Amino acid sequence: MGFGGVAHRPHRGDLGGTAGPGRSPGARAGQARHRRPLPALRHGHGGRAMNTLGLFPGQGSQRPGMAAWIVDHPAAAAVFRRADEILGLPLSTLCVDGTAEELRATEVTQPAVVATSLALLAARTQRPDAVAGHSLGEFTALAAAGVLDEESVLRLVRRRGELMAEASARSAGAMSAVLGLDVESIEKLCATVDSGSVEVANHNQPTQVVVSGHEVAVGELEQLAKAAGAVKTVRLKVGGPFHSRLMADIAADFGAELDRYEFRPPAIPVLSAVTADYVTDPAEIRDLLRGQLLAPVRWVDTVRRAVADGYDELLELGPGQVLTGFSRRIAPDVASAAVSAP
């Protein structure tokens, strides 16, 4: 679950190919879309080749028209065509013409965001050297690394979204972003809340932490955070208390769903945002995806680990530029860009 971010000049990378004849899925009648490829960020000082970490965003990055600029690309159009057929959802239309309200439902948001990221990835001739994903984005990262095939990822995120929507309907939960306090301070405050369960859900930036839990407990935490010096708190417009123990009742169901699919060893390095460490074993990856529903997103630790290991380009592949904003605050000296519409 992303939050915040600032506007950055988009990085369209090296989108290969040209638009085919006729209207591609989701195209608005009478409107032509033009791709203006920008040079890829592939060289550092002195022409040195860069090591690129591909970053895939999660729920919260969706917005109306998020795939409008890419949907005419043949490879991207093919991804949307397959997604429509596999899921029986008109994602090619929703990701271009869907309203904010239509895209807000968790069971729609999750496959829509993943399909848009997969489409962007398919349209690029250059691939990242390693990958990481924020929450939902971990599924796209696993597709990029060859751990799961495209159809499996689409079906899994559709089911994940359905289960999370069901869990949200049963619990009076909420999420809130706290700005201006470090994660250790927030963890200590969570431990003092006695009105219900609240815990850290996302550590997005050094001083931006998202908490998740019972609505009344989240409200109590917000007041405690402000008293402790937080700059502000922002209640998130989400469907439920994601990445918290309140999702425990769906973990078993989603685990059973995960067991139906084949997981392969990654073809390129994959950093898990659950552990901020590399994952190589298919069984471990499956277990982390099951536990991810309950565990916090350790995004700050994940980006710092990648930078420490020599990745010097952080390239966001998906709708919006939220992760690019996070990257520039976590690692300001590292090149960051988003392959996204302006």
197 is catalytic: no
DSSP of 94-126, one letter per residue?
A: HHHH--HHHHHSHHHHHHHHHHHHHHHHHHBSS
Specify whether the CB–CB gap between 206 and 180 falls below 8 A. no
Rounded to 10°, the helix 106-123/150-170 angle is 160
73 is catalytic: no
SS3 32: coil
| Of 20, 90, 52, residue with least CA distance to 317 | 52
Among 203, 243, 272, 327, the active-site one is 243
Query: How far is residue 283's CA from residue 29's CA, in Å, rounded to a whole number?
Result: 47
Where are any strands of DSSP class E within the chain?
A: 52-56, 130-133, 173-179, 198-205, 208-214, 232-235, 270-272, 277-278, 313-317, 335-339
Among 61, 92, 117, 135, the active-site one is 135
Specify whether the CB–CB gap between 240 and 201 falls below 8 A. no
Chain center to CA of 278: 18
SS3 141: helix
Specify whether the CB–CB gap between 135 and 160 falls below 8 A. no
Name the pairing type of β-strands 277-278 and 232-235.
Answer: unpaired
Catalytic residues, by residue number, are 135, 243
